[in-house]
Amino acid sequence: MTGFTGTLRLVRLALRRDRIVLLAWILGMAGFLAATTALFDDNYTTHPELLGPDTQIVVENPGMRVLGLVTGASVGAYTLHRDALTLAVLAAMMSVLAVVRHTRQAEELGRQEMLAAGVVGRYASLTAAVIVALAADTGLAVMLGLAMAVTGQALAGSLVGGASIALVGVAFTGVAAVTSQLASTARGAIGFAGATLGVSFMFVALGNMLGTVDSAALRVSSAWPAWLSPIGWGQQMRPFADNLWWPVALGGIVTAMLFGLALVLIDRRDVGRGIWPERRGAAHASPALLSPTGLVWRLQRGVLLGWAIGMVGFGLIFGALSDRIQGLEGAATEWYETFGGDADLLGAYWASMMQIAGMAVAIYVVSLLLRLRHDEAQGTLEPLLGTAVSRLRWLGAYAANALVGATSLMLLYAAAMSLAGGQALGGTASLLGDLVGAALVQLPAIGVLGAAVVTVVMVLPRWSVGLSWLLVVFCVFVGPMFGPSLGLPSWLSDLSPFSRVPNAPAVAISYGPVLGLVVTSVVLGLAGALALRRRDLSLPA
């Protein structure tokens, strides 16, 4: 028997277990890309004169280049600029979750030990997980290509576009294979892979923002940091322009190297353990752990620290770009003037960056509040409620940590942006006051989304995870950053709480919409609390 014995049987088992989940991932992303491509195609078919200026806006605007590259004035290229980053992140998470599910999570739940008692080699589970993830990425590339082709885009560019997104999933298949060996828990493996994804995004964002623009303002040549990121490799395939395929080989080589490293690491650890040993706990617990609020803080402080580092990093980058924004001319200025409501170019830039930060922090809040469902589904809530802790106190612990975490992240982002922007422009103190106000005004919108997730968890617990993330995607893509570009009607865009946030500091803060968001979040939160009190717990069998 070799180390790979039983791999094909485990591949069939994994495909049977994941056939619905992976199919939902693939069809969901393909459907989203097809819908947005059709919207942009209809918009620019009706108004073809807008395609060139809109392309110049995203090329000349360093802030918009965070979302990705656009090469040439075509509907397909513009659509991928808007969608490719989101789809790349989703492809990466699809691969990470698939690999971790059949490796580290299987060990954590004791399934791997049962499999190992049969005719199964030591490397079979990891190899099967990688094969399944790569098969899903291949299917994703084909479906994304077809999604654009059926809306009238060029077949060659469509297929390259689909492959450029799936390439990120391929690379993070290798990343997850390694993190599953390093961490001793599934949560840790996913967390390390997610941190790697965040670093990759930071590199490609920095490389694109520092890139050079051609004389026609229709193409950006990325700076070298973009080549340190798998997301950057996909973008450098240049769909609907150069249609380069060779970055796929680069992604394949890196994934093969990471898979080989993972095989080496398997031989250096015991089943159920990670390469990085678990730290011993303190001999005496902190007094803070006597409360559910302190317990939740202890469990999520590492995640919050990672988010804080990322928010500070992006705040410094976006702030340092303020002097470049001040010197913009042409089509890009029109976008900022429209967004900000007046000709305050810098104010509109800062407002747009605060919108992006608010949406990012909302993702942190949602991921934290979904731990409510995890506690219930995994059975850790039942013994907790067997003590003097009530249901509402447990819910309040998560709500308090979400509020403190969101506020801290927004303030850190504003402070970092003020520091870098003040160094670039002068006047850090006055800029700090403006940006802190703009940061705090995002919190009510984040609160509405968080309260909605709480209500979903309490009313529909078994479906809450998928519905919550679907709600996040909806609020982001119908909101002010994407809704107008997608040509969505105003009533639909207004359904996003971020559409109600004043565009400070470009315009004065209007407290009516802010108060409305606060009231909405309180009502939704109370509805969730009432549902929690009135229903039975959804416990594991």
Whole-number average pLDDT of the chain: 84
- pLDDT value for 447: 94
Q: Which of 277, 307, 333 is the last residue of a domain?
A: 277
- pLDDT value for 2: 82
Does residue 340 surpass a pLDDT of 60?
Answer: no
- pLDDT value for 117: 66
Whether the pTM exceeds 0.85: the reply is no
Instruction: Indicate whether 419 belongs to any domain.
Output: yes
Q: How far apart are CA 26 and CA 94, in angstroms?
A: 9
Q: Which of 277, 304, 338 is the last residue of a domain?
A: 277
- pLDDT value for 406: 95
Same domain, 94 and 149: yes
Same domain, 48 and 136: yes
Backbone angles phi, psi at 213, to 5 degrees: -105, 140
Same domain, 246 and 304: no
Instruction: Indicate whether 32 belongs to any domain.
Output: yes
Q: How far is CA 265 from CA 101, 244, 258, 268, 359, in A?
A: 18, 34, 10, 5, 37
Q: Which of 250, 277, 304 is the last residue of a domain?
A: 277
Does residue 328 surpass a pLDDT of 70?
Answer: no
Q: How far apart are CA 180 and CA 165, in angstroms?
A: 23
Q: What pairs with residue 221 in β-bridges?
A: 212
Question: How many separate domains does the chain show?
Answer: 2
What is the arithmetic mean of pLDDT over 397-423?
Answer: 91
Q: How many CB atoms lie within 10 A of CB 438?
A: 27
What pLDDT digit, counting tens, does each position of 279-290 carry? 666 777 777 777
Q: Which residue has the higher pLDDT, 291 or 117?
A: 291
Same domain, 56 and 122: yes
In which band, very low, low, confident or very high, does the pLDDT at 524 lie, cut at 50, 70 and 90? very high
Helix pair angle (443-459, 391-425), 10° resolution? 150
Domain assignment of residue 151, given as a range = 1-277
- pLDDT value for 352: 81
Q: How far apart are CA 168 and CA 95, in angstroms?
A: 9
- pLDDT value for 453: 94
Does residue 335 surpass a pLDDT of 60?
Answer: no
Q: Which of the 8 DSSP states describes residue 212?
A: E
- pLDDT value for 298: 86
What pLDDT digit, counting tens, does each position of 113-131 carry? 777 667 777 888 889 999 9
Q: Which residue has the higher pLDDT, 284 or 2?
A: 2
Does residue 293 surpass a pLDDT of 70?
Answer: yes
- pLDDT value for 434: 83
Instruction: Indicate whether 282 belongs to any domain.
Output: no
- pLDDT value for 168: 95
Same domain, 271 and 295: no
Instruction: Indicate whether 49 belongs to any domain.
Output: yes
What is the arithmetic mean of pLDDT over 334-341?
Answer: 55
